[in-house]
Amino acid sequence: MTSISDLFRLDGRVACVTGGNSGIGRTMALALAEAGADVALVGRDPERLEAAGVEVRSHGRRSQCVPGNLADRADLARVVEAVSKGLGAPDILVCAAGINERPSMTVLDADVWDRTMRINLDAPFLLARAFAPSMAERGWGRIINLASLQSVRSFNNSGAYGVSKAGIAHLTRTLAEAWSPRGVNCNAIAPGFFPTPITRAVFSDPERAKSMAARTMIGRNGALEDLRGATVFLASRASDYITGQVLFVDGGFSAG
């Protein structure tokens, strides 16, 4: 029988993490590296990518930094090729890149809608389509998408972002239906309120941040380290019998 500690190890695995240069994506990437995975980091800021890559290597793991614009399908295809030729076809795909421009549906224009869907919803689909077949050939893989509280609740001008994250929740389930019989488990993490570039407006207003914390059962907003355990759990053999699920890491916000 595999030991509990070994269930959570990722030695010999390769992970690809989009949005890996900052915020939640960076936190997830470093958690995977600490658990033993080599990590390909994808993002738009080469300098911040390289800084994250240095941190991955500080855990004794290999890193690859792939700058790219996931809103551009040609560039996304280039990213897929670069990752595959670099560290190799990933065993773990984490789609953490996302944008939230926050215009209300009353003023939302088609350009913002299209840009949001391309990055938040289309890119995870296209990346899964690119990488899942090789995972299935090897008989093991993990796809972890990033959902949101706004996958299930509309508030705070959720707009196109909320729609895209509701789509991610169901994309995760349909990917699970398609790929889980071949060993590729697909799940999503839905964070509550965490300090990231997307939530800067919330955290810059102390009263607003306090009111969000009061809506949780734990009584505080999230800290990025709160996501580390959930990430490693869903990426490892510890989650072998879990697929098609959205795991809310939100201090009980969604349950209240």
Q: Could you give the domains of the chain?
A: 4-196+224-244 (3.40.50.720)
When pLDDT is averaged across residues 163-175 and rounded to a whole number, the result is 98
The three-state secondary structure class of 21 is: coil
- Phi and psi at 103, nearest 5°, equal -70, 145
Rounded CA separation 113/255 (Å): 29
Q: What is the pLDDT of residues 88-131, one digit of tens each?
A: 999 999 999 999 998 888 999 999 999 999 999 999 999 999 99
Selecting among 91, 94, 159, 161, the annotated active-site residue is: 161
- DSSP secondary structure string for all residues of 145-177: EE--GGGT---SS-HHHHHHHHHHHHHHHHHHH
- Both tokens of 11, joined, read 């030695």
Is residue 244 pLDDT above 90, yes or no? yes
Rounded CA separation 202/17 (Å): 25
pLDDT value of position 199: 86
Higher pLDDT, 156 or 64: 64
Give the single-character DSSP code of 241: T
Q: What is the pLDDT of residues 125-158, one digit of tens each?
A: 999 999 999 999 999 999 999 999 988 888 777 7
- Rounded to the nearest integer, the mean pLDDT of the chain is 96
Is residue 56 pLDDT above 90, yes or no? yes
Q: What is the pLDDT of residues 2-41, one digit of tens each?
A: 999 999 999 999 999 999 999 999 999 999 999 999 999 9
Rounded CA separation 59/150 (Å): 34
Is residue 170 pLDDT above 90, yes or no? yes
pLDDT value of position 251: 97
Catalytic residue check, 161 = yes
When pLDDT is averaged across residues 164-174 and rounded to a whole number, the result is 98
Angle, CA of 40, 45 and 186, to the nearest 5°: 40
